[in-house]
Amino acid sequence: MQVLSIEFMYQHVNLVLAKTNQRGIRVVKSVKSPLPEVWFSNDGIKDVHALGIWLKNLIAANEMASKKCHVVINNNHIVSHDVELPVTDPKKFHRVVHNELINAMHLDPEVVTDYLLLDETKTDDEGHFAKVYGFAISEPILNEYLAAIRIAGLIPETVEPGNSALLKLVDHLPHYGNQEQLLVADVGLEATRLYLYHQQKFMILYTTRYIGMGPDESDRKIQTAINTIDKVAQYAYSLHNAGISLVALAGNDEWLPEIKETLETSIGLKCAYLDLTPTVYSSKSSELQFVNAFGTILRRKS
C-alpha cells in the first residue's frame, strides 16, 4: 500500500511518499520544502486556506498524489510532558492522563491529548504505577491543520507529534537494543531534539530551538547542536553513573558529518548515523532528515 506522510515544522514541510508492508517502509519519493510565508504563530495557522492550496500545489508539482495521509506536527503547537500515575481501569486511563497533563502544564481544557506508555512499576507498598509521555495540542489549532489538509484534497488518517513519531521509529529498530545508554539526536533545521534511552527504555527528551538565529547562520546552529549533545551526555552520566554508549545522529544531512566528527574527535563520544535498516529502505544514500515522517507511518508496537 502507498501512503503519504506530511511533517509540519516551524518554517519547513517534509513530504514522504512510501510503500508499506509488514516488514516496514520502502521510500518512493521524499521532498523537503521551505514555507514561502510565515504561516505559523503561537495562536495557530494564520491563513488556513493559503496553506492548504500551497500544500496541494507542492504535492502535485512533485507527483506525490495520494488520497490519504499521515500528519506529523513538529513545532511548538504541540507540548509534551512525562507523568507518573497510578494504573486504573484502561477505559478511564486516557482521561486520567488528559486531566494530569492539563494540571501539570497549566493548559486550557480545550486540548486534545495522547500519550505513550513508557514503563510500569508494581510494588507491594505503593501499588501499580505507569510512567507515560503525554502530548497536547489546542483543539482549535488541530482543527486548522485538518482543514488545511482537506483543502489540499487529502483525508488525514493519523495526526501525531514529531516526538511520538521518532520514538515509534526507534522502537522498530531492533539493533539498538544492546546499547546500555543510547542518545538519539534529531538535528533539525530549526531545533535539536535529543532522546535519551537507558537499558532500552526511553528516559528523557531535551529540545533546543535556535532562538535568534537566521536561516544563514548554519555554523551557529551546528555549534548549538554540538553543545546541547555534550550537555545532555554529561547529564546522562550524572543520572546513571555511566557514559553514553552511542550517539545516533539523524536530521539535516548536510550538517551531520561535521557534527559527528566534532563529537568524536573533540568530545570523545562514539557516534554513528541512525541506522534505519531493516525498517526503512530507500535508494538514496541518506534520508535522515525525514525520520519523523517515517515514524508516523509505522504502527505502534503493542
- CATH code reported for the domain at 78-138: 3.30.1490
- Here the cell at position 25 is 517502509
| 221, three cell numbers | 546552529
Domains of the chain by residue range: 2-75+144-159, 78-138, 174-275
CATH fold of 2-75+144-159 reads Nucleotidyltransferase; domain 5 (3.30.420)
Report the mean per-residue pLDDT for the chain.
Answer: 90
pLDDT of residue 302: 43
pLDDT of residue 123: 60
What the block records as the C-alpha cell of 71 is: 500528519
269, 229 Cβ separation under 8 angstroms: yes
254: DSSP letter: T
Give the CATH superfamily of 174-275. ATPase, nucleotide binding domain (3.30.420.40)
Three-state secondary-structure class, residue 91: helix
Could you tell me the pTM of the whole model? 0.90
**pLDDT tens for each residue of 16-74:** 999 988 888 999 999 999 988 878 888 899 999 999 999 999 999 999 999 999 999 99
Strand-pair partners of 159: 71
What grid cell was written down for 259? 557534527
Tell me the per-residue pLDDT of 194-239, one tens digit each, with 9 for 90 and over. 999 988 888 888 999 998 998 889 999 999 999 999 999 999 988 8
- Residue 34: CB atoms within 10 A of its CB come to 11
For residue 176, give the amino acid letter: Y
C-alpha cell at 72: 506529523
